[in-house]
């Protein structure tokens, strides 16, 4: 397939999927009902959730500087902060283009070579992936009885146990095959795992490793807290259990990768997770839209202002 066509599909397919999912979610809950939920929502909790989200973004911008300092680049916090928000905003238009733009902005205004700046962003993503895996593991541990009971209820118990055993055996066989194979796909997997391990170890070799780890944990704590506190804005949700919060958060996080910034997919991902815990459909979808819209507003506002103010900020500092 032509490379131009591939690039076009990478841009258009997530957008088309997002449009379809918006239509699908609105077929479940009409715009009029969503507006009623939005009108009756407690905006104190929504604003508080937005504040927690902002804190996570500030922490991410601050954490980035710890990766750049050992290479001799002591970037201004203002440039780091605005580059992070500009990247978030750009990701809403072209998936993953924000990371490239973020490294480019730092190269332009701080003189950090693009490949080095981009390398720190990749290492950052590895750290985030590890925390996400930890959250999933904790959720599986805390909700094991619920998840196991749900699978038993939906599927034959013997088949569930058999599937687990088969999955474990296949994982061991695949691991041995990948370790010994010289096939292209096996080499890519080994390279990815090797990079993952190297990225983790590089964190512990940093001068400010504990500060970096603190900020990483802080960022994800704020993510979970903003997801949790915003549920109080919709009284129809009732009291959402910690298990539902964690499962909903994981589901919503993955939805962001499905479409540009989670447009259309975020509310449905929240509904799919909450429905497992018997939470009603309408308030779940309404909460998903309010949660997504409030955080998107922060990104559009701060990202737009960052793109406008970046050249002005650096012109002033240069003088």
Query: What DSSP line would sit under the chain, residue for residue?
Result: --HHHHHHHHHHHHHHHHHHHHHHHHHHS-HHHHHHHHHHS-HHHHHHHHHHHHHHHHHHHHHHHHHHGGGT----HHHHHHHHHHHHHHHTTSTTHHHHHHHHHHHHHH---HHHHHHHHHHHHHHHHHHHHHHHHHHHHHTHHHHHHHHHHHS-HHHHHHHHHHHHHHHHHHHHHHHH--SHHHHHHHHHHHHHHHHHHHHHHSTTHHHHHHHHHHHHHHHHHHHHHHGGG-GGG----HHHHHHHHHHHHHHHHHTGGGTTHHHHHHHHHHHTTT--HHHHHHHHHHHHHHHHHHHHHHHHHHHHHHHHHHHHHH-
pLDDT score for 32: 85
CB 260 within 8 A of CB 14: yes
What does each C-alpha distance from 195 to 117, 122, 125 come to in angstroms?
A: 16, 10, 11
Q: CB burial class (10 A; 0-12, 13-18, 19+) of residue 110?
A: middle
**Torsion (CA) 48, 50, 56, 61 in degrees, nearest 10:** -130
Residue 129 neighbours by CB distance under 10 Å: 13
**Cα three-residue angle 76-105-193, rounded to 5 degrees:** 95
What does each C-alpha distance from 303 to 20, 49, 81 come to in angstroms?
A: 26, 18, 10
pLDDT score for 77: 92
Task: Report how far residue 161's alpha carbon sits from residue 34's, in angstroms, rounded to the nearest whole number.
Answer: 42
pLDDT score for 118: 84
pLDDT score for 170: 83
- Give exposure, 134-151, as e/b (b: 16+ Cβ within 10 Å): ebeeebeeebeeeeeeeb
pTM of the model: 0.81
Domain parsing of the chain, residue ranges: 30-318
**What is the mean pLDDT, run by run of 10 residues, along the chain of 319 residues?**
55 60 69 88 95 95 87 87 92 79 88 84 86 89 72 63 77 80 76 63 73 93 95 90 91 83 86 89 92 93 91 82
pLDDT score for 42: 94
Task: Report how far residue 252's alpha carbon sits from residue 227's, in angstroms, rounded to the nearest whole number.
Answer: 9
pLDDT score for 62: 93
Residue with tokens 């996570």: 56
Query: Which tokens sit at 60?
Result: 């991410």
């Amino acid at each position: 397939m032509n490379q131009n066509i591939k690039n076009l599909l990478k841009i258009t397919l997530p957008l088309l999927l997002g449009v379809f999912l918006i239509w699908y979610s609105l077929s479940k809950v009409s715009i009029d009902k969503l507006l009623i939920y939005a009108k009756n929502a407690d905006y104190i909790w929504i604003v508080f959730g937005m504040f927690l989200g902002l804190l996570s973004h500030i922490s991410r911008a601050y954490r980035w500087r710890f990766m750049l300092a050992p290479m001799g680049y002591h970037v201004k916090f203002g440039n780091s902060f605005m580059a992070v928000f500009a990247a978030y905003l750009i990701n809403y238009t072209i998936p993953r283009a924000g990371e490239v733009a973020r490294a480019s902005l730092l190269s332009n205004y701080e003189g950090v070579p693009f490949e080095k700046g981009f390398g720190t962003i990749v290492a950052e993503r590895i750290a985030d992936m590890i925390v996400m895996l930890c959250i999933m593991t904790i959720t599986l541990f805390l909700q094991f009885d619920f998840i196991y009971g749900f699978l038993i209820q939906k599927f034959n118990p013997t088949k569930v146990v058999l599937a687990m055993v088969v999955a474990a055996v296949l994982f061991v066989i695949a691991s041995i095959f990948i370790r010994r194979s010289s096939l292209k796909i096996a080499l890519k997997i080994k390279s990815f795992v090797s990079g993952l391990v190297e990225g983790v170890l590089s964190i512990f070799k940093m001068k400010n490793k504990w500060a970096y780890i603190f900020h990483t944990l802080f960022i994800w704590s704020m993510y979970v807290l903003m997801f949790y506190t915003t549920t109080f804005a919709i009284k129809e949700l009732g009291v959402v259990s910690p298990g539902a919060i964690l499962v909903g958060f994981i589901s919503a996080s993955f939805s962001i990768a499905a479409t540009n910034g989670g447009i259309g997919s975020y509310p449905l991902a929240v509904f799919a997770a909450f429905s497992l815990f018997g939470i009603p459909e309408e308030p779940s979808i309404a909460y998903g839209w309010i949660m997504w819209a409030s955080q998107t507003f922060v990104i559009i506002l701060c990202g737009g202002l960052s793109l406008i103010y970046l050249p002005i900020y650096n012109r002033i500092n240069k003088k």
